Chain A
Amino acid sequence: MSPPPDSSDIPHHDKLKVLIVDDEPTLRLGFAYALTNKSTVVETAANGRQALERIEAVGFDIMILDLRMPEIDGLGVIKTLRESGNPIPIVLCSAALTPGAALCAIRHGVVDFLLKPVRPVDLRQVMDFVLRPEKRPLPLAMRAARNARFDEAIRILEDDSSPSRQASYWLGVFRSIRDSDPTGEAPVLTEEIRTSLPILAYNAPTV
C-alpha cells in the first residue's frame, strides 16, 4: 500500500494524534490509513499493554480501542487510564457489545461505540462526533457523559423535545447509572436497555 497522502504538510506537533489499538493487523493498517491525513497523525498498538506504554510516552487526542485483545483487553486499558486520571476520549470498537462491558465503559466515560465491521466513513465521522460535537442535544449530552457528568447529560436529554430513538435509550442508560450504587460493579439496567445495547453504537444498524 502506498504511503498515506498529505502526511507532512502540517508540523507534527500541531497534528491531531490518534492511537489505534487492535490485535488485527489488517484493521490497524486500514484504520491508520483511513484516518491519516494532513491534520492527523496515527499510531497503532497491537494490545492493551503496548497501548498503555504508548500513552504514557506520548499524549494522544483520541484513542480507537478494541475490546477483545490479548494481554490487557479494552476494559483493562480504560480502567487503568481512568484510575491514573487520564481523561483521553476513547472510542470503543468491537464486534459485539455485552451489557457488562458496555456499562463498565460508560461509567468510565467511554460512551462512543463502534460496531465492527466499520466503514472508513464511520471512523471519520465518529472522530468528528467526539472531537467537534455539534450543538444538538445528543452530541452535547454525550460530551457531558464523556466527562462522567451524567446529571448534566440527563438534563440535556430530558430537555430534548423530540428525542430520537437512540437519545431515549441513552437517557435510560444514564438514568440507571445515576440511580445505581457508584461503588457497585454492575448497575442494574432495565431489561429494555439491556436488550437494546447495539442501538447505543454510533454506527448502530438502522434496519
Chain B
Amino acid sequence: MLRLRLFYGLLTIILLLWSVGAAALLLMRESVNGFDTRLRTDYRAIDAAQTIRSLTVTMNTSYLPSLAAAAPEVPDNRALYDKSHQQLADQIAIIHKSGGDDERWNSVMTRLDQVFGTYSEGYEKFFSGRILDRSDRQKLLQFQGMQTQRLTDLTENVMTLSEEKLFSGASQIVQGSGRNTIFVVTLVLLGTSIAALIYFQLVRHLVDPVANLHRSIEEISKGNFELTLPEPSPGSEFSKVVAAFNGMAAELKFRRSQNDDNLMRANMVNRAILEAIPSPVFVLSDDTGIVQINPSAENLMEKLGIAGRLPLKIQHILDDCRKTHAHFLPEDPREALLFRIEEQEFYYLPRIFRFESDYASQSGWAILLHNVSHIRWLDDMKTNLLSTVSHEIKTPLTGIRMVLHLLLEERSSQLDEMQKIMITSANDDCERLLATLNNLLDLSRAESGATELTRVPLDVRENVARAAQLYSGAASSKEIEITIDEAHGDFLEISADPIRFDEVLNNLVSNAVKHSPEKGKITLRLSKPDADHVRVSVIDQGPGVPESSQSRIFERFYRAPGQDSEGIGLGLFICREIMRAHEGRIGLRERTDNQTEFYIDVPTA
C-alpha cells in the first residue's frame, strides 16, 4: 500500500519533470526558429535595398556623365542598363515579398514602384536618342538625379522599416519567452506542490508510525506495558509491525503480571516464613545495610534500644566475615552472645551466611540469631546437676570406701578368705565408681570451665618434661622408655592454662603408656606446624586406634570396641574441649611405621 503510494507520488514528479523539460525544449526551439525567419526576411529586404542603391549608382555612373558632355551622342551600350534594370526589378520584387502588411510599408512600396517607373522612363528617354538638345539633356540629367535621389531615400525608408520590423520581432520573441516562463513556473509550482503533498503523505504514513513506535518502545522500556498502538489502515506495511508490537506488549504485560503474581507469592511465602521463625532474622545488603528483618528481630532491636542497625557484637562478627568472605555458622551453644534485655540474660547464637546469585550479581548477608538461652540454661542445669549428683554420691561413697579400707587392714580381727574376697571386690567396685564420678566431675568441669581458662605464657618444654617425669614410674614397670625430642626448632612460649594443658598432656602420655607394648618406646616430640602454634606429639608403638573408631575417639563417652582398659571414654573428649578452649587443635595422625601419633597444637604466646 505504502509502496504503491510512494511509487505513484514519485511517478507524478518524474512525469512533471519530463514534461517541464520537453516543454522548455520545444518553446526554445520555436522561438529560435521564429527569430531566424524574421531575421532572414528582414535582412533580405535590407540587402535588396542596398543592392538597389548600388545598382542605381552603377547605372548612373555609366550613363549619366554623357548627358553632361557637350556633344550629344547616342549611347550604344544598352546591355548594362537592361541587365541592371532587370536586377532592380528583381530586388524590388524581393522587397515586396518580404514586406509586412502595415500602411507605412505599403505606401513606401507604392512610392518605390512609382519612382522605379519614372526612373526607368528617364532611362528609356535617354536611350531613345531623341534628346539631343543640350537643355533637354540637362533637364534629363537633373530629372534622373532627382529620381535617383528619391529611389535612394525610399530604399533608406525600406531599410529603416525593415530594421524596425526586426526590432519589433525581437520584442515579440521576448514577449513569447515571458509566456514560456509563466508556463514553466506553473509546472514547477505544480511539481513542488505535488512533492509537498507526497512529503506530508509520507510523514503521515511512514514517519508518524515509526515515531509512534519509538514512543511506545520507550514507554515499554519504562515499564508501561499498558499502551497499545492504534491499528493502522488495512493493507499498510505497518499493520504487521503494529500487530507484532501489540502482541509483544500484551505478552510482556502478561508475563509481568505473572511475574508480579509469582513475586507477590514468593514475597508472601518469605514473609510468612520470616514471621514464623521465632529467631530474629536480619537480611543485609552487601554493604550491611538492613534490607529486611522479621518481627522477632524488630522486637529484639526495640528491646535493645537500637534502631536501624545491628547489635554491635554481631556487627563485629559480620565485619570479620566480610573480611574473610566466609560464613559464620557456629554449632556450639557456648559460642552464643549474651544480651541483657530487661535485666534478663539471653544467649543468642549468631549464624551468619553469605548468599550470592549466579555470577554474583546479587549478594548479601543473612543473619539468624538462634536463641539458645534455654539450651544454655539446660546445659548449665545438666552440668550443675551432674556436679551436684556426683558430689552427693561421692560423699557417702567416701565413707563406704573408708570402712572397706579399714576392714581390709584387718587391725581388730582377721577376715576369713570369703570375707576378704567379698570386701576386696566391694572395694574395687567402690574405686571404679569413684573413678567414674571423678570423670563425670571432670566432664562438667570441662564443659562449664572451658571458657574460664587462665592462660599464661609457658615454656612448653617444662610441661613436657614434667609429664615424662610423672609417668616414668608407670613406664618403667613395663620397661617402656620415654624420650623427649625437641630438635625441631626453637620453641617460643605457648599461651595456655597450666593446669588444663598439663591435664591434656598427662592424658595423652597416660594413654600412650597404657597402650604401649612392653619394652616399647614413647616419644614426646616438639615441632612447629605453623607460625602461630607449637605442636606436641605423643608417639607410641602400640596397636593404634582401629580405623573405624578414628573419627569418633574424641566424642564423649566413646570407647573403642574391644578396649578392655578402665575409663568411661571421657579422657580424649575432655582433652578436645580443653584444646578447643585454647583455640588449639588435637588430633590423631595417620599411622606410620607402626607408630601411633596423637598431637596437640597450642597457640604461641
Complex contact A192–B456 (CB within 8 A) = yes
User: A29 contacts which chain B residues (CB < 8 A)?
Assistant: 399, 403
**Interface-located stretch among B83-91, B149-157, B271-279, B409-417:** B409-417
Complex contact A34–B412 (CB within 8 A) = no
User: B396 contacts which chain A residues (CB < 8 A)?
Assistant: 24, 26
Interface centre among B394, B401, B497, B498, by most chain A C-beta atoms within 10 angstroms, is B401
- Please give the distance in Å from A17's CB to the nearest CB on chain B: 20
* A24-B406 contact, Cβ under 8 Å, with A117-B401, A194-B454: no
User: B395 contacts which chain A residues (CB < 8 A)?
Assistant: 24, 95, 116
- Contact partner, A195, options B398, B411, B412, B500, Cβ 8 Å: B500
**What 0/1 readout, one digit per residue, does chain A (166-177) give for beta carbons within 8 Å of chain B?**
000000000000
| Closest chain A residue to B407, Cβ basis | A1
Report the Cα distance A29→B404, complex, angstroms: 12
Check: B581 CB closer than 8 A to any chain A CB.
Answer: no
* A30-B412 contact, Cβ under 8 Å, with A195-B499, A206-B470: no
User: A117 contacts which chain B residues (CB < 8 A)?
Assistant: 394, 397-398, 401-402, 434
| Closest chain A residue to B403, Cβ basis | A30
Report the Cα distance A95→B387, complex, angstroms: 12
Complex contact B398–A95 (CB within 8 A) = yes
Report the Cα distance A2→B391, complex, angstroms: 30
Query: Considering the complex, which residues of chain A in the window 183-207 have a beta carbon less than 8 Å from any beta carbon of chain B?
Result: 191-192, 194-196, 206-207
Per the CB 8 Å criterion, the residue count for chain A at the interface is 30
| Closest chain B residue to A93, Cβ basis | B398
User: B399 contacts which chain A residues (CB < 8 A)?
Assistant: 24-27, 29-30
User: A132 contacts which chain B residues (CB < 8 A)?
Assistant: none
Check: B405 CB closer than 8 A to any chain A CB.
Answer: yes
| Closest chain B residue to A66, Cβ basis | B395
Report the Cα distance A92→B324, complex, angstroms: 54
Interface centre among A30, A119, A165, by most chain B C-beta atoms within 10 angstroms, is A30
- Please give the distance in Å from A192's CB to the nearest CB on chain B: 6
Complex contact A2–B498 (CB within 8 A) = no
User: B397 contacts which chain A residues (CB < 8 A)?
Assistant: 117
Complex contact A192–B412 (CB within 8 A) = no
Check: B426 CB closer than 8 A to any chain A CB.
Answer: no
User: B406 contacts which chain A residues (CB < 8 A)?
Assistant: 30, 33-34, 120
User: B413 contacts which chain A residues (CB < 8 A)?
Assistant: 2
Complex contact A30–B402 (CB within 8 A) = yes
User: A11 contacts which chain B residues (CB < 8 A)?
Assistant: none
Report the Cα distance A118→B413, complex, angstroms: 22
- Please give the distance in Å from B169's CB to the nearest CB on chain A: 139
Check: B510 CB closer than 8 A to any chain A CB.
Answer: yes
Complex contact B402–A120 (CB within 8 A) = yes
Per the CB 8 Å criterion, the residue count for chain B at the interface is 30
- Please give the distance in Å from B288's CB to the nearest CB on chain A: 37
User: A191 contacts which chain B residues (CB < 8 A)?
Assistant: 454, 456
| Closest chain B residue to A27, Cβ basis | B399
Check: B541 CB closer than 8 A to any chain A CB.
Answer: no
- Please give the distance in Å from B69's CB to the nearest CB on chain A: 180
User: B125 contacts which chain A residues (CB < 8 A)?
Assistant: none
Check: A182 CB closer than 8 A to any chain B CB.
Answer: no
User: B499 contacts which chain A residues (CB < 8 A)?
Assistant: 192, 195-196
User: B471 contacts which chain A residues (CB < 8 A)?
Assistant: 207
- Please give the distance in Å from B52's CB to the nearest CB on chain A: 159
Check: B506 CB closer than 8 A to any chain A CB.
Answer: yes
User: B394 contacts which chain A residues (CB < 8 A)?
Assistant: 95, 116-117
Report the Cα distance A187→B195, complex, angstroms: 113
Complex contact A207–B456 (CB within 8 A) = no
User: B434 contacts which chain A residues (CB < 8 A)?
Assistant: 117
User: B80 contacts which chain A residues (CB < 8 A)?
Assistant: none
Interface centre among A4, A5, A31, A207, by most chain B C-beta atoms within 10 angstroms, is A207
User: A96 contacts which chain B residues (CB < 8 A)?
Assistant: 391
**What 0/1 readout, one digit per residue, does chain B (488-502) give for beta carbons within 8 Å of chain A?**
000000000111100
User: B403 contacts which chain A residues (CB < 8 A)?
Assistant: 26, 29-30
Complex contact A120–B409 (CB within 8 A) = yes
Report the Cα distance A24→B466, complex, angstroms: 38
Check: A3 CB closer than 8 A to any chain B CB.
Answer: yes
| Closest chain B residue to A68, Cβ basis | B395
Check: B10 CB closer than 8 A to any chain A CB.
Answer: no
Report the Cα distance A119→B399, complex, angstroms: 10
User: A27 contacts which chain B residues (CB < 8 A)?
Assistant: 398-399, 402
Report the Cα distance A31→B401, complex, angstroms: 11
Query: Considering the complex, which residues of chain A in the window 76-126 have a beta carbon less than 8 Å from any beta carbon of chain B?
Result: 95-96, 116-121
- Please give the distance in Å from B496's CB to the nearest CB on chain A: 11
User: B401 contacts which chain A residues (CB < 8 A)?
Assistant: 117, 119
Query: Considering the complex, which residues of chain A in the window 7-52 have a beta carbon less than 8 Å from any beta carbon of chain B?
Result: 24-27, 29-31, 33-34
Report the Cα distance A96→B397, complex, angstroms: 14
Complex contact A118–B402 (CB within 8 A) = yes
Complex contact A26–B402 (CB within 8 A) = yes
Interface centre among B402, B466, B499, by most chain A C-beta atoms within 10 angstroms, is B402
User: A192 contacts which chain B residues (CB < 8 A)?
Assistant: 454, 456, 498-499
* A207-B470 contact, Cβ under 8 Å, with A24-B396, A192-B498, A196-B499: yes
Query: Considering the complex, which residues of chain A in the window 124-179 have a beta carbon less than 8 Å from any beta carbon of chain B?
Result: 165
Which positions in A face B, CB cutoff 8 Å? 1-5, 24-27, 29-31, 33-34, 95-96, 116-121, 165, 191-192, 194-196, 206-207
Give the 7 A-B residue pairs with the shortest CB-CB distance, closest first.
A26-B399, A191-B454, A30-B402, A117-B398, A27-B399, A116-B398, A195-B499
Further contacts, 13 of them, CB under 8 A, given A27-B399, A34-B402:
A1-B412, A5-B412, A24-B396, A29-B399, A34-B405, A95-B394, A118-B402, A120-B409, A192-B499, A194-B454, A196-B498, A207-B471, A207-B510
Which positions in B face A, CB cutoff 8 Å? 391, 394-403, 405-406, 409, 411-413, 434, 454, 456, 466, 470-471, 474, 497-500, 506, 510
Q: What would 20 A/B residue contacts be, using CB atoms closer than 8 Å?
A: A1-B412, A24-B398, A25-B399, A26-B403, A29-B403, A30-B403, A30-B405, A33-B406, A34-B402, A95-B394, A95-B395, A117-B397, A119-B401, A120-B405, A120-B409, A191-B454, A196-B498, A196-B499, A206-B470, A207-B474
